[in-house]
Chains A and B, each alone.
Chain A
Amino acid sequence: QSVLTQPPSASGTPGQRVTISCSGSSSNIGSNYVYWYQQLPGTAPKLLIYRNNQRPSGVPDRFSGSKSGTSASLAISGLRSEDEADYYCAAWDDSLSGHVFGTGTKVTVL
């Protein structure tokens, strides 16, 4: 059972901005970094954001992350068809002494 809550779906037209929320608690998001992963259909997850708002080399600056208190958000600006994927937030949970993932959000480009 996922500890981090995300909306099941989000959508937008090409060029629009889409935001995905991730709600946690003081033991995970509230006290640790948030990570975001992108999973294209039929492929392994790929790290999109680390340390709340840092992008690995090669990730477009259209993707941005933020965190406030026990919640985090991923924003995709200038939405493109290739952004259609499932997106997961994640964080370390001090109470569980383990990683927890979000429920996942499917982004559809209309």
Chain B
Amino acid sequence: QLQLQESGPGLVKPSETLSLTCTVSGGSISSSSYYWGWIRQPPGKGLEWIGSIYYSGSTYYNPSLKSRVTISVDTSKNQFSLKLSSVTAADTAVYYCARHGTTVTTELGYWGQGTLVTVSS
């Protein structure tokens, strides 16, 4: 059974860079042709897609976050990562990693449990 697990600091200072990693188990990032994505949810609010990556490194980003986001993949560790720079309190949210189907336009069928990141000094 495919499982995804987010990890990273739960507290980040304003203007710094938020860094999270998603570790995939029960399947290989590089052996299957799937896209892997990041989604966030501010407390009490709705879902926002951040971006997605293919195992080869091809990426798609939310235009509203594109200037601050970098998503990368490490097939040797079966992980993919999120970096969000110049964070503010508005970036406080639960961050989820998830797996798409075989194209980036498809559904997010598997989700991690999410990790809360608070931006505060």
The residues in B between 45 and 82 inclusive whose CB is less than 8 angstroms from any CB of A are: 46-49, 51-52, 60-63
Please measure, in the bound complex, the distance between the C-alpha atom of A2 and the C-alpha atom of B104, giving whole angstroms.
19
Q: Which A residues are CB-close (under 8 A) to B109?
A: 47, 50, 56
Interface centre among A51, A56, A88, A92 (most CB of B within 10 A): A92
**Contacts A44-B113, A45-B111, A47-B108 given; does A88 touch B46 at CB 8 Å:** yes
- Assess the B107–A50 pair: CB atoms within 8 A: yes
- Assess the A32–B105 pair: CB atoms within 8 A: yes
- Shortest Cβ distance from residue A32 to the other chain B in the assembled complex, whole angstroms: 6
**Contacts A45-B96, A92-B105 given; does A98 touch B46 at CB 8 Å:** no
> Which residue of B49, B96, B107, B113 is within 8 Å of A98 (Cβ)?
B49
Q: Judge if B112 is at the interface, Cβ distance under 8 Å.
A: yes
The proximity string for A residues 45-76 relative to B, scoring 1 for CB distances below 8 Å and 0 otherwise, is 11100110000100000000000000000000
User: Quick one: closest B residue to A36, CB to CB?
Assistant: B107
Please measure, in the bound complex, the distance between the C-alpha atom of A16 and the C-alpha atom of B37, giving whole angstroms.
36
- Assess the A47–B48 pair: CB atoms within 8 A: no
The residues in A between 70 and 103 inclusive whose CB is less than 8 angstroms from any CB of B are: 88, 90, 92, 96-103
User: Quick one: closest B residue to A32, CB to CB?
Assistant: B105
- Assess the A98–B111 pair: CB atoms within 8 A: no
> Which residue of A44, A50, A97, A100 is within 8 Å of B96 (Cβ)?
A44
Please measure, in the bound complex, the distance between the C-alpha atom of A88 and the C-alpha atom of B46, giving whole angstroms.
8
Please measure, in the bound complex, the distance between the C-alpha atom of A99 and the C-alpha atom of B51, giving whole angstroms.
8
Interface residues of A (CB under 8 A from B): 2, 32-33, 35, 37, 43-47, 50-51, 56, 88, 90, 92, 96-104
Interchain Cβ contacts under 8 Å between A and B, 5 examples: A33-B106, A45-B108, A56-B109, A99-B108, A100-B49
